[in-house]
Structure 1
Amino acid sequence: MDLITLRSQNITNVLFYARTPKDAALKSSQIAIFNTVVVNTGQGYASDTGKFTAPDSGIYMFAVQYCTEANQWGCLEIVKNGTTLQNSVNQADSNYACSSMQAFATVAVGGQVWVRGNGFGGNCNLYEYKTYVWSSFSGVLIHT
């Protein structure tokens, strides 16, 4: 057996991608729940709570893209077990604007990661439009 085959036998696939926020306006500390689950290998993302629960320990990469309508604030954070991993704030001017953020974290089995409003500027406003402006949350296990 080659090295790639040996390594692939020990690595569990964990990947999720969800979009379409349930609520367009999030209050401070309100969890963003993304309703449309496109992929959920490992079944770690729960669309009813918006939380990812790690089915395996390892190093994960999480990403968020969020869009805001004209003259609105976008303000989100990626959170692991209650501790902020990454913060982001944007304000759309005369048109919509999209921003993204990423975070890498070691997560134990059962550890949770989610996205929530960070309270900057009041409500955090999320926006989607048809097939080309989406807000999303995703994650992947990159090393066990």
Structure 2
Amino acid sequence: MNLVTTFSVLLLILDIVLGDCNSTMTTSLIKSQLSPLQKTIDMLDNGSKCRCRSINQVVFLAEIGSGRTYQKGSIWIYDKVVTNVGNAYSPSTGKFTAPTNGVYQFNWYTLSAPNTMSHPELFVNGKLKARQSANNSGSTKQWITAGSSVALPLKKGDVVYIMDSRFTSQPFSQWTTFGGVLLN
């Protein structure tokens, strides 16, 4: 017995107990009010009738697994993946490929080795979109950190990566990270 029928029977019994002479009209009125509710329940029970827009979750965070030197113009490879929901980041290439249109927030942090310059820049499809600078030309014992963040509208298939187009860089392992999230 479905919800509408059960409710209607209960109202019919209540009408009989209370002596309402017009139980047929009352039951008909209640059924007409509950019909849309029953259709909604049926749609939820039969997932095939209700096609809700799925939300594509995209979030990643990767770090450089060990200290290394990147030549000027080389894409930085963040090979130690912490999270990669949606699998849009490739730890073998260092590239993020947008799986859907939307606004994405990217963050990258760099720990630059002593006596080195690191200017990691964020590129989308080969075009510079944002910069960061960790000028560490001072002490041989000094480590410099820098961080940047940018929100960008991307189209499905856009490719995002980090590289230093001006200097050879020596970012230091797990303190050098690249991450992003689909905002909408």
Structure 1 and Structure 2 fold alike (TM over 0.5): yes
- Which residues of structure 2 form unaligned runs of 5+? 1-52
Q: CA deviation at 1:42?
A: 0.5
Cα distance in 1 between the residues matched to 2:123 and 2:175: 21
Cα deviation per residue 1:70-122 (whole Å; 9 max; x = unaligned)? 21111110000111111122222321011001121111111110001121xx3
User: Who is 1:96 aligned against?
Assistant: 143
Instruction: Specify the SS of the correspondent of 2:148.
Output: strand
Higher strand fraction: Structure 1 or Structure 2? 1
- Asked if the contact 2:110/2:134 (under 8 Å) is kept, the reply is no
**Identity of matched residues, %:** 26
Structure 2 residue 153 is matched with structure 1 residue 106: yes
Matched letter for residue 52 of structure 1:
F
Cα distance in 2 between the residues matched to 1:23 and 1:69: 9
TM-score, normalising length from structure 1?
0.83
Structure 2 residue 46 is matched with structure 1 residue 15: no
Structure 2 residue 112 is matched with structure 1 residue 68: yes
Matched letter for residue 114 of structure 1:
Y
Cα deviation per residue 1:38-61 (whole Å; 9 max; x = unaligned)? 100000000111000111110001
Matched letter for residue 42 of structure 1:
G
TM-score, normalising length from structure 2?
0.66
Cα distance in 2 between the residues matched to 1:32 and 1:101: 15
Higher helix fraction: Structure 1 or Structure 2? 2
After TM superposition, what 4+ stretches of structure 1 lie above 4 angstroms from structure 2? none
Matched letter for residue 116 of structure 1:
M
User: Who is 1:55 aligned against?
Assistant: 99
Structure 2 residue 87 is matched with structure 1 residue 40: no
Q: CA deviation at 1:22?
A: 6.3
